Structure 1
Amino acid sequence: MTARTTTTEGTEARAPQLSVVIAARNEEDYIGACLQSLLDQDEAAGRIEVILAANACTDDTVGVAASFAPAIEARGWSLQILDVPAPGKVKALNAGDSAATGEVLVFLDADIRLDPQMLGQLRAALAGDAPRYATGTLRVAPARTWVTRQYARLWQALPFVQGGAVGAGLFAVNHSGRRRWGAFPEIISDDTFVRLQFTPDERVEVPACYHWPMVEGFRRLVRVRRRQDDGVKEIHRLYPDLPAREGKAPLGRADILGLLARMPLAFMVYASVHLAVRLRKSRSDWARGR
């Protein structure tokens, strides 16, 4: 692994208050908007170090990220770009995590955009010595395709999502919370693994929103949904004690009938994806499905 570091003069003497770790693989179309949303954070965010772990990229993810160095320096922050040549998101997460020095650790997917109040609210939520986990209020970004719009409409109405603190694509912990686990394990669902290190009363959802794009089109939805399901099954198999910490009501018969009555088209799309998932083989690679 090699690293390129851009640091504002004088910031080395002051520890950052937040470390934002971004694991990215071939995200040249998204990393710019993600980094701009970091630059747009309000002053409550404090001092920030941005660590981009570029994982086996074959596009211009690194070049786009490096172009933000002057603006990041202008805020008195630092940007570190790590080259992680071996494929695998977990390798990128562990590389970025090892480099982080902030009081609060924020793990962010490269395709996420944050409201300007996000990092300041996460920092406030994670203050103190008690182990804590925090995330923002998830909003699915507007989709281009009809299928994804319908799927997203139903998905956002599920009890799991409505219950809050989902953490898909964005989660943060303080140092005492980070001590709950060692290195990120070689598993599919890193966000589920981290969330379930904490009980419901240790998890916080702040009001600021983060905007998470769903993949576009039926085939890609099936591909990603299958991987998500495999990730949950893997957690149950490898860490059987963790699911008891979920603390959210399952989808019951009444919930299913209610969703069908309220949004029949969205329900049929969601059900069709669910059925197709059962008919397709799993993939082991890290892919967005775009």
Structure 2
Amino acid sequence: MTFLNHSTDPTPREPALSVILPASNEAGLIGMCLDAVAASTEVPGGVEVVVVANGCSDDTATRARAHARRFADRGWRLEVIERDEGNKTAALNAGDSAARSGARAYLDADVVVAPTLLAETVQALTSPGARFVSGRLVFATPASGWSRAYARFWRRVPFMAEGVPGCGFFAVNADGRLRWGAFPDIVSDDTFARLHFAPDERRAVAAPYSWPVVEGLAALVRVRRRQDRGVKEVRRRFPELVRNEDALPFPPAAKARAALADPAGFAVYAGVAAAVRLTPRTDGGWSRGR
């Protein structure tokens, strides 16, 4: 297995936060993601970013390294690791092995963070005890009408609107990271991490981050099927974590009001859910849909 490492290390001290960023064939998006991180407001103690390019057949790693000087100029560290294997949880584990801070943030390469997100996250992680922190999730506007309708209704679902889902970005402090060892080979790493924390140990800061919704009806069905499978897998393999599930209720009356307010969104959202239940699984592994 090829294992290449490149880093800029202007300050050898332990940073306040290590951001672990797995990326597989993300050449078209990694620059936008890293630009946003590099434009973050000041974080006392500094930040390091560990990009793990895994299973790439494009120039994701090269494009990530092109940002090295920008990070170094502000005293932050950027490390780029290349792995032949295209496996997200293995990439997360490689990033964890390279990280120097006990506080860890896990960031998807298609996410764009707001300038204050990292600083607010670090502040929230300093609270006593173990902490799981995320930002205010904002859906990037899809090009597909199907996806726009789905996203409109999805954001009304209490788990997304009122919970701390951590989709695409979540962080834990050092005490929190001690709750598990290596990431297991699972589909839903964010669910696995989140359920290691009781609801009162999770925090959502005000700063937003932009998370994409896949494009098109077929992609929505594929990804929803994968999401559902990932949650069920965690519950099946790690039943002791189910005690931390805070399934926020969506009462029939509230659902009816939401459906009346956006009938098209409800129709698409319910249709995707029905398609997942009624159609056989034809996709395997990772489903990105973009």
Specify the TM-score bucket, using the shorter chain as the normaliser: over 0.9
Q: Is the 8 A contact 1:129 1:176 kept in 2?
A: no
Q: Which amino acid letter does the alignment assign opposite residue 198 of structure 2? A: T
Per the normalisation by structure 1, the TM-score is 0.95
Q: Does 1:183 align with 2:182?
A: yes
Residue of structure 1 in register with 2:234 after alignment: 235
Residue of structure 1 in register with 2:280 after alignment: 280
2:207 counterpart SS class: strand
Q: CA RMSD, aligned part only?
A: 1.4
Residue of structure 2 in register with 1:144 after alignment: 143
Query: Distance in 2 between the 1:189 and 1:267 partners?
Result: 25
Residue of structure 2 in register with 1:133 after alignment: 132
Q: Which amino acid letter does the alignment assign opposite residue 28 of structure 2? A: D
Residue of structure 1 in register with 2:118 after alignment: 119
Q: Does 1:44 align with 2:38?
A: no
* CA shift for structure 1 position 40: 0.8
Q: Is the 8 A contact 2:102 2:177 kept in 1?
A: no
Q: Is the 8 A contact 1:226 1:282 kept in 2?
A: no
1:44 counterpart SS class: coil
Task: Spell out, residue by residue over 1:114-173, the C-alpha distance to the aligned partner (whole angstroms, 9 max, x if none).
Answer: 110000000000015511110000000111111110000000000111123110010000
* CA shift for structure 1 position 228: 0.1
Q: Which moved more, 1:108-117 or 1:64-73?
A: 64-73
* CA shift for structure 1 position 179: 0.5
Q: Is the 8 A contact 2:222 2:287 kept in 1?
A: no
Residue of structure 1 in register with 2:194 after alignment: 195
Query: Distance in 2 between the 1:141 and 1:126 partners?
Result: 26
Residue of structure 2 in register with 1:212 after alignment: 211
Q: Does 1:5 align with 2:6?
A: yes
Q: What percent of counterpart residues are identical? A: 44
Query: Distance in 2 between the 1:161 and 1:4 partners?
Result: 37
Per the normalisation by structure 2, the TM-score is 0.95
* CA shift for structure 1 position 8: 3.8
Unmatched tracts of structure 2, length 5 or more? none
Q: Which moved more, 1:139-148 or 1:232-241?
A: 232-241
Residue of structure 2 in register with 1:67 after alignment: 66
Q: Does 1:88 align with 2:92?
A: no
Task: Spell out, residue by residue over 1:206-257, the C-alpha distance to the aligned partner (whole angstroms, 9 max, x if none).
Answer: 0000100111111111111000000111112112232231224233322322
Query: Distance in 1 between the 2:224 and 2:44 partners?
Result: 33
Q: Which moved more, 1:37-46 or 1:50-59?
A: 37-46
1:185 counterpart SS class: coil
Q: Which amino acid letter does the alignment assign opposite residue 288 of structure 2? A: R
Unmatched tracts of structure 1, length 5 or more? none
Q: Does 1:163 align with 2:155?
A: no
* CA shift for structure 1 position 47: 1.1
